[in-house]
Amino acid sequence: MTAPDDIRPVTGRRQVLIVALAVLVADLVTKQVMLDWIFDPPQRIGVLPFLNFVPVWNSGISFGMLADAGWAMPALLSALAFAVAGWMLWKAPTFRRGERLGAGLIAGGAVGNALDRLRFGKVVDFIDVYVQTWHWPAFNIADAGITVGAAAWMASLFLERETDSK
């Protein structure tokens, strides 16, 4: 049984919004906990043989790129993040299921990091995954949401088939 066409736009947007809000809340809560726990005073907490919590301020984007791009970069990146999240929410009714999941994860993560940039001028990162002496760059829940969301979006493009014959 399928929903009438006049209900689908609300449902698609609602699905993206629910996922985005879940990622955003998880991101903001974990960042605040880490700010209180490992940033003041700065300390490394071993969690598992391959996982630490570490205090890292990232003034750039992925992997610290554009870290020295100037005073306007946090505002520009935040504006771009809000624009992307808004576009995904607006277009949600046209997305397939996997695309909606991806859009919600990306939007929630983008907004979480944008709020950090507006509040602090940089992003709070704290998850350190490593193998022996090799460490992946520190990241946070928002970063994980963006990465998993992009993977879900791409998987949807390859795996989901258009059910409508418009």
Locus of tokens 């859009």: 103
Question: Is 125 annotated as catalytic?
Answer: yes
Report the Cα–Cα distance between both ends of the chain, in Å, rounded.
18
Overall domain count for the chain: 1
Question: Is 6 annotated as catalytic?
Answer: no
Note whether residue 66 is domain-resident.
yes
Note whether residue 141 is domain-resident.
yes
- How much is the pLDDT for 164? 47
Q: How many other β-carbons are positioned within 10 Å of the β-carbon of residue 49? A: 9
Note whether residue 94 is domain-resident.
yes
Note whether residue 25 is domain-resident.
yes
Note whether residue 92 is domain-resident.
yes
Residue range 102-156, pLDDT digits in tens:
999 999 999 999 999 999 988 999 999 999 999 999 999 999 999 999 999 999 9
Note whether residue 23 is domain-resident.
yes
Q: How many other β-carbons are positioned within 10 Å of the β-carbon of residue 4? A: 6
pLDDT above 90 (res 66): no
User: Under DSSP, is residue 90 helix (H, G, I), strand (E, B) or coil?
Assistant: helix
Note whether residue 24 is domain-resident.
yes
Note whether residue 91 is domain-resident.
yes
Which position among 27, 116, 128, 143 bears the catalytic label? 143
Question: With left for phi above 0 and alpha for psi between -120 and 50, is residue 52 left, alpha or beta?
Answer: beta
pLDDT above 50 (res 165): no
H-helix or E-strand containing 130?
strand 123-131
- The model scores a pTM over 0.75: yes
- Domain extent, residue 106, equals 8-34+60-121+137-159
Which position among 27, 116, 125, 128 bears the catalytic label? 125
